[in-house]
């Protein structure tokens, strides 16, 4: 018997939510508002966890690829919003290196700071800037396990040429996390035994 094909498919509502693929998001606030809205819609549609992300062209603000958390529906612990956005962007751009010569500089905008796994993905993705809404402690505060991250992770990224901008619309990002819990969303962690 052959091994299964591994595939992560963004929720069906994504195409309806992003009908104008050329719509620019000129400011960091505009880009963050979009990814927080994607996180909120993911919660409302019960298609994954309370996290949204997007890869944007840094200068023009064009959305290259969206991403939302797909862990539960995909039965895949690595299907975090940042990872799905990176994977979709790399498919669209036809390269594993979003910092490849000839491409415009890219940024990853995430509704919440990256967990330990996503932090590693940021380093290898080729993006030149990371923009975060909620903080690590906000995700931990509702029960998510963000993994072991170095306390100076922002400095480590900046040493690699990746600028970091934090706390953009943090209150709005945290509201989505709380909304997820209030709706009874499953705060999954590897050591938890079963879904509610």
Instruction: Give the tokens for residue 110.
Output: 């995430």
For residues 117 and 57, give the distance between their C-alpha atoms in angstroms, rounded to a whole number.
Answer: 23
For residues 106 and 109, give the distance between their C-alpha atoms in angstroms, rounded to a whole number.
Answer: 10
CA 177 to chain centre: 13
For residues 144 and 174, give the distance between their C-alpha atoms in angstroms, rounded to a whole number.
Answer: 13
Catalytic site residues?
82
Residue 185's CB is within 10 A of a number of other CB atoms, namely 19
């Amino acid at each position: 018997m052959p091994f299964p094909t591994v595939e992560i498919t963004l929720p069906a509502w994504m195409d309806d939510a992003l009908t104008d693929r050329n719509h620019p998001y000129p400011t960091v606030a505009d880009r963050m508002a979009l990814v927080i809205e994607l996180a909120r819609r993911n919660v409302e549609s019960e298609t994954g966890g309370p996290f949204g992300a997007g890869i944007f062209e840094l200068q023009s603000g064009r959305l290259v690829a969206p991403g939302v958390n797909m862990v539960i529906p995909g039965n895949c612990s690595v299907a975090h919003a940042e990872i799905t956005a990176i994977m979709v962007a790399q498919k669209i751009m036809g390269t594993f290196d979003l910092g490849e010569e000839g491409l415009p500089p890219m940024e990853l905008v995430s509704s919440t700071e990256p967990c330990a796994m996503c932090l590693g993905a940021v380093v290898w993705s080729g993006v030149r800037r990371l923009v975060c809404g909620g903080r690590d402690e906000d995700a931990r505060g509702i029960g998510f396990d963000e993994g072991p991250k170095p306390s100076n992770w922002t400095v480590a990224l900046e040493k690699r040429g990746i600028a970091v901008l934090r706390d953009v619309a943090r209150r709005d990002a945290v509201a989505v996390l709380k909304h997820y819990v209030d709706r009874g969303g499953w705060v999954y962690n590897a050591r938890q035994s079963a879904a509610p």
